[in-house]
Amino acid sequence: MRSAIVEARDVEKSFGAVRAVHGFSLQVADGEILALLGPNGAGKSTVVRMLMKVILPDRGSVVYRLAGAEPAPPGRAQLGYLPEERGLYQDVPVQRMLVYFGTLRGMTRAAASRAATNWLERLGLAERARDPVKSLSKGNQQKVQFIVAVLHGPRFVVLDEPFSGLDPLNQDLFVRLVRELRDDGATVLFSAHQMQLVERLADRLILMQGGRAVLEGTVPALGERWGAGSRLILRVADARPVDFLAAHPAVERIESALNGEVRLRLRPQAPLSALLRDAGARLDITSLHSEQVTLHDIYVETVGAALEPAAGEATETAVEVGA
Amino acid sequence: MSDTRTVLEVAWWEFRRFVKPRQQLITLLLTLVGGGVGWGVSELGKRNRPSAEIAVIGVEHLPVAASPDSSLTFVPHRPDEELALRKAVGRRELGGLLLIRGADTAELVVAKEPTWRSTLERALAAARQRAKLQQADLAPEALADLLAPPHLDVTFHEAGRGPTTQGARLVAMLAAVFVILGVFTGAAYVFASVTGEKQQRVTEQIVSTIPSQAWIDGKILGLSAVSLVSVLNMAAAVVLLLVGRSIARGGGGVPPGFGDPWAIVLTVVFTLLGFLFWLSFVAAVAATVDDPHTSTRAPLMFIPALCGGPAGFALGNPDSVLVRVLGVFPLTSWAVAPVRLALTDVQAWEVVLAIALLVAGIWVLRRMAGTIFRSAMLMYGKEPSWREMRRWMREA
């Protein structure tokens, strides 16, 4: 792993009686795209706000090393932030507002104006530069909000739920833009709950649940650690027991066996021929297909287990009984 | 980027958001037109004062006479005309019928309560006084001497000082009106700016970018400048109107009382400091407001008005001990001191102390406002309690 430019150490934050984040740590490596993934209320935005010094942690610390190996407070030009709470001056022309935010980040007016013009052209908004923000569509306002975060060429960009409210085309656009930012030397941390976008974009992810990190790593590494590999789905014509499959060396576990459909989680690199032969000998298989385990599966299983451990246990028990 | 540059950037942003040249020009023109129309109506009113003809029966008992500038005309009649005159009053052909029965008794017959009643009563009182003095059998010279006012020569200790002129009173009144109006205008801008930013959800973006103290300082500075421009705009309109009126009356242009440049400079200083003081207060209050339509904090906005009120006392008695104290006390000095400067001698130490206390008050208030602003601006859906605000200040 490259050197960490941002580090949160064991941070905690409570709001009244609600413990939003506890015992959370992260390291953001220079030049990576790190995703904070988690359901609503997992504590992602609270972590982001603490990283951006919008709120201070009750315990723990956030350390920046943007200017060298030694910890130092970040300069405002080094940070870019797209808050979850979108907000723009609605009655002000787009270009003027962008220049204002650029100057607050330390740019001269001339440099901010040039950068704003470039970004507006890049995002197809050049002709709207003199229009008041309120005249733009929601999607275009989100593009402007994105420009506010990156106008000044920050070293570390934090995007809180950048894809929310975007149509698929604009989601693709934002994925491309974030990759370009990384290619230009920026480090990006973003929070999201759209798994396929995280899978496409993130070099590494941290899955949060209940204010804690419950899973961390690169997408392939997580897949491997999770059991990776694939899933085999069999359609069977009769109601014969399938529990013998659980003992098969190629099968990690039976995920479900309901309504003539048996879903098997396979062990990594498991040889399938013996499994298919044994299953075919004892079951009347009408169709079969396989699929890769996705981040969605990891997310649902991890978060589901953390959210409802009792329900999770009950499901597994039901499978065993059914099997 | 230094905080000073940030403050100036924010100030310039706020100034440009709220000062629109076309609007200022329209305000100037409307003030001129409104003032011109008001003055014209007042002049017309003076020239066409409604006069009343009053028929008098029994003038031999009390020789009532109207003063030269009075709107009343007294016309003597015979007693046998009373009935006809009463009917004329009923038909509104006569303003009234005055039946004088003796030096001490009279009856006034009118169709409705007359607006000139007090004028008539003064005329009757004067006539009665003359009648009583004549009954005392005084010589005309003695009578004239008795009624003449004493002659009073006023000598000023300092050469060059003259009596308090009408112009000086006008300047004092305008100073008070403009400084209070400026604080109100600024308060309205601050309230609109802060609650607008909360409602447009831009606060998190800005708080993550610049120190909240720099944000509030820039906001207060910029909006104080906006208030100053508004006040100067109105002041320019008033000066133009006064000059126009003076020229129309054959005067020399600028009315007297606008002469002391030092007092004008100090008035501008107190005005600006007053803006900074109260706009800091209003910014802190506005930051705690979640919804301006339903907030219970709105009555706090009247505190500046209460503190501007003593300017009225100062107009009446600029040298009383109370007014002198209020002229130094930072909650009121911004409004009282300009009035005293226009009307009376203000000691140098009073001016220095008032400015020092006001500056210290601004420093304390802006720090408190910055602390409240920092936390309150990020609160949505509820307003912070007084206890929470006290805790923020303690923690700060």
- This model of the complex carries an ipTM of 0.74
Question: Is A176 buried (19+), middle (13-18) or exposed (0-12) by CB count in 10 A?
Answer: exposed
Q: Does the CB of B9 have a partner CB in chain A at under 8 Å?
A: yes
Q: Does position A314 have pLDDT exceeding 70, yes or no?
A: no
- For an interface test with A, the pick among B10, B199, B205 (most A C-beta atoms closer than 10 Å) comes out as B205
Residues of A in contact with B6 (CB under 8 A): 104
Q: Does position A319 have pLDDT exceeding 70, yes or no?
A: no
For A188-238, what is each residue's pLDDT tens digit?
999 988 888 888 899 999 989 889 888 888 877 776 665 556 788 889 887
For B30-72, what is each residue's pLDDT tens digit?
988 988 888 888 877 766 666 788 999 998 888 888 776 677 8
Residues ≥6 apart with Cβ < 8 Å to A180: none
For B127-136, what is each residue's pLDDT tens digit?
888 788 777 7
Q: Does position B262 have pLDDT exceeding 60, yes or no?
A: yes
Give A316's pLDDT tier (boundaries 50, 70, 90).
Answer: very low
Residues of B in contact with A90 (CB under 8 A): 200
pTM tops 0.80:
no
User: In Å, how far is B208's CA from the nearest CA of chain A?
Assistant: 5
| Closest residue in B to A85 (Cα–Cα) | B201
Question: Is B377 buried (19+), middle (13-18) or exposed (0-12) by CB count in 10 A?
Answer: buried
Q: Does the CB of B2 have a partner CB in chain A at under 8 Å?
A: no
Q: Running DSSP on this structure, what letter comes out for residue B293?
A: T
Q: Does position A317 have pLDDT exceeding 50, yes or no?
A: no
Give A155's pLDDT tier (boundaries 50, 70, 90).
Answer: very high
Please give the residue that has the higher pLDDT: either B298 or A122.
Answer: A122
What is the sign of the dihedral through the CA atoms of B190, B192, B194 and B195?
A: positive
The per-residue pLDDT for A196 is 82
Give A322's pLDDT tier (boundaries 50, 70, 90).
Answer: very low
Give A315's pLDDT tier (boundaries 50, 70, 90).
Answer: very low
User: Which of A24-38, A118-132, B233-247, B317-331 has the weakest average pLDDT?
Assistant: B233-247
For B199-233, what is each residue's pLDDT tens digit?
788 888 888 899 888 999 999 999 999 998 988 88
Q: Does the CB of A87 have a partner CB in chain B at under 8 Å?
A: yes
pLDDT > 70 in chain A, percent:
90
Across all residues in chain A, what is the average pLDDT?
Answer: 85
Alpha-carbon span A286 to B38, nearest angstrom: 97
Residues of A in contact with B210 (CB under 8 A): 76, 104
